[in-house]
Amino acid sequence: MRVLVTGHLGYIGTILTPMLLRAGHEVVGLDSDLYERCTYGDPGAIAHVPVIRKDIRRVEREDLAGFDAVLHLAALSNDPLGNLNPELTMDINHRASVRLAELAKAVGVRRFVFSSSCSNYGASGDAMLDESAAFNPVTPYGKSKVAVERDVVPMASDAFTPVMLRSATAYGVSPRLRFDLVLNNLVAWAFTTGRVYLKSDGTPWRPIVHIEDIARAFKAVMEAPADAVHAKAFNVGRTDQNYQMRELAEIVAETVPGCRIEYAPDAAPDTRCYRVNCDALPKAVPAFEPKWDARRGAQEIHDACKKIGLTLEAFEGVRFQRIAHIRHLIETGVLDEHLFHAATAEAGSPA
């Protein structure tokens, strides 16, 4: 298949792209490469494919012509970044995504796979949630994902199959490594300070999933028969990988030698609390087989910290924290206030 991956240079995209290439697909990437200064390890680990270097808000029909599938990952990628400017978050994550789907359908793309999120469920308590559960997003990021699902699923037709993948909270090592995700963050804190530092009281539930398993889900859904996935949403992860934050802290404490668990002085319950059932996707698409669990993931992250000699300064700096990096790019004039590359913003050319 000829596949367009938006956000192919991001945290998940740099894992998904080589996976698709190994499977024999022809891949083109579309990315403004906001995080080109955030590469972890060997830059050569990022797969080289033809690239449309463009902001997702500036995509045109001709960019999408000739593709069998669009795998749409590009977005402002987490709650803190979404909170930076909620209206801008809706512009990028919601309106640009809906427009992308409209253009893809118009030019004959048959499969559109959207990177949604279990953040859609938001404040949902202890109940186990399947894909029929009500949404209750508590952040602009979660609200933007809900809005895309609402607007794109009705576009389904005999010639256009949208699929919504609601991934659990991601973790794992990639060429564009992030330490602002819960398991990655806890391991990095433990490695650099000797503390597994919890900002909540440890009671909130959170489902987690390795980025390789997210990539496997995208590949499996893209390759599946249309009738198995047509206009459907799937939770992505493993049902047995729902954890309370204190349980994750205990796993990290057992993984990183000599560390201790510590709670922030103002630790309180987090409003984001949800558990998800992830059984529907492997039933609908048996080719999807998630392979990772939290203990193996914590060890992988710990090994990565040791490999690069991660320091507290680097961990808390602009390289591995998405919100800190974007603020730095704005402060240094690389991006304008609308997150377009400043050198191209006035001319209206791709950012």
What residues form DSSP beta bridges with 232?
A: 163
pLDDT of 350 > 60? The answer is no
Structure tokens at 147: 């809005």
Helix, strand, coil % (nearest 5) of the chain? 40, 20, 35
Kindly report, residue by residue over 259-269, the tens digit of the pLDDT: 999 998 887 77
Kindly report, residue by residue over 13-67, the tens digit of the pLDDT: 999 999 999 999 999 999 999 999 999 888 888 999 999 999 999 999 999 999 9
The Cα diameter of the chain in Å comes to 58
Calculate the average pLDDT of the chain: 93
Within 10 angstroms of residue 2's Cβ, the number of other Cβ atoms is 12
Using DSSP bridges, classify how beta strands 26-30 and 51-52 pair: parallel, antiparallel or unpaired.
parallel
Kindly report, residue by residue over 279-294, the tens digit of the pLDDT: 999 999 999 999 999 9
Mean pLDDT of 109-129: 92
Residues 6+ apart with CB under 8 A from 343: none
Mean pLDDT of 97-123: 96
Distance CA 118, CA 165 (A): 9
Using DSSP bridges, classify how beta strands 69-72 and 242-244 pair: parallel, antiparallel or unpaired.
unpaired
Sheet-wide strand order for 205-210: 169-171, 205-210, 242-244
What residues form DSSP beta bridges with 164?
A: 114, 233
Distance CA 100, CA 72 (A): 9
Kindly report, residue by residue over 205-232, the tens digit of the pLDDT: 999 999 999 999 999 999 999 999 999 9
Phi and psi angles of residue 189, each rounded to the nearest 5 degrees, phi first: -60, -45
Distance CA 210, CA 296 (A): 10
Radius of gyration of the chain (CA): 19
Distance CA 7, CA 263 (A): 35
Structure tokens at 121: 């469920």
pLDDT of residue 179: 92
Quick one: angle between helices 294-308 and 245-255, nearest 10? 50
pLDDT of 81 > 80? The answer is no
Distance CA 22, CA 334 (A): 35
pLDDT of residue 82: 66
- CATH homologous superfamily of 2-345: NAD(P)-binding Rossmann-like Domain (3.40.50.720)
Distance CA 3, CA 222 (A): 9
Distances, alpha carbon 177 to alpha carbons 184, 295, 301, 304, 344, in Å: 9, 18, 10, 10, 27
Q: Closest Cα to residue 31, out of 73, 62, 60, 1?
A: 73
Distance CA 16, CA 85 (A): 28
